[in-house]
Amino acid sequence: MKNFVLFFISFVFIGCSSIKNFNTFSKQIYKAQKVEKDCGVYPKLSFESRKKVIDRIDFINYSNDTVYCLESYYTETGEYYSAIWTKKGTVEFKVYQNNLEYGQKFFIKRLYKMIEEWDLPTIQKAEKESGGMLGGAMMMGAIITLDNGNFKMDCIQFKEFFNIGLDK
């Protein structure tokens, strides 16, 4: 029987420095990831990588929005993948040997829906049934709520999964 790892962490930062741009938003994510080591693949790498895409993130309403994130890191190759999205826009990118490459659909389609719906039981089930089949990269998914200067981040860490019947 396969063992699976599922971590769910929730952070609320109330009254923190006002979030007015992607730089301060990214710093809040980094702080949350540093507090709990299971809330990010590699927080420092994630933070440094997000700084490279600052010019593409123009769709977040820092006063009131819900932001979704996915990230994975392949230790064998050194490739870092990330997706950041809201209902108004998406940025997906890969960083390899310090080179940034924008792309689309780095992650399986149903995973985006699971994160948007914050469907932890389905993520847990998919990980148990087919986690680790693509090399077993660890992944992090997050839902971040911005509400009048308050920052709330829920995150989950899990093994990458893929099911040929569902993820063609």
Residue 156 pLDDT more than 50? yes
Residue 34 has pLDDT above 80, yes or no: no
pLDDT at residue 62 is higher than 60: yes
- Higher pLDDT: 21 or 122? It is 122
- The Cα 94–Cα 82 span in angstroms is 6
Give the pLDDT confidence of 77-123 residue by residue, as tens digits. 888 899 999 999 999 999 888 888 998 888 888 899 999 999 999 98
Lateral strand order in the sheet of 79-85: 7-13, 150-159, 138-147, 64-74, 79-85, 90-96, 99-102
Residue 38, pLDDT above cutoff 70: no
* pLDDT at residue 133 is higher than 90: no
Q: Is 140 left (phi over 0), alpha (psi -120 to 50) or beta?
A: beta
pLDDT number for residue 4: 42
Is it the case that residue 5 has pLDDT exceeding 80?
no
Specify the pLDDT at position 165: 61
Confidence of residue 54 (pLDDT cuts 50, 70, 90): confident
Mean of the per-residue pLDDT values for the chain?
80
- How confident is residue 14, by pLDDT bands cut at 50, 70 and 90? very low
- Compute the average pLDDT of residues 44-68: 86
